Amino acid sequence: MKKFTDRQLMIFEKEVIDCADYVLLLGECLDSDMPCALKNRLILHKEECKTCQKFEKEYKNVISIAKTLKEDYSEKEIPKDTQKRLRSFVKALASN
């Protein structure tokens, strides 16, 4: 069984998972790098949240583009500027 990281535990203990949490943990969620209990809560949020559905789509696009650009690209090491781009993307979506 996977153990929570401090950050995952902090979010898991919140009553409500919001978009910022989803964005923060999406990479780990897609990598199955977190306990199922938390993953399920993130998925539940996404199912009710159009913003996060769009965000996940964009995120996966970025990953696949990055992969074609660089063969040895690791999903765990998303470049800082890509993370920034994704965050501002979700912010823009949320403010619509």
Q: Which of 11, 17, 52, 90 binds Zn ion (CB under 5 A)?
A: 52
Indicate the residue among 73 and 87 with the shorter CB distance to Zn ion. 87
Calpha distance 13→19 (Å, rounded) = 15
Q: Which of 17, 21, 42, 51 binds Zn ion (CB under 5 A)?
A: 51
Give the Cβ contact number of residue 41 at 10 Å.
Answer: 19
Calpha distance 45→75 (Å, rounded) = 22
Contact 25, 83 (CB under 8 A): no
Looking at 4-12, 26-34, 48-56, 80-88, which segment touches Zn ion (CB under 5 A)? 48-56
Calpha distance 7→11 (Å, rounded) = 6
Q: Which of 5, 12, 19, 66 binds Zn ion (CB under 5 A)?
A: 19
CB of 45 to Zn ion, least distance (A): 6
- Size of site (CB under 5 A) for Zn ion: 4
Calpha distance 91→70 (Å, rounded) = 27
Binding site for Zn ion (CB under 5 A): 19, 49, 51-52
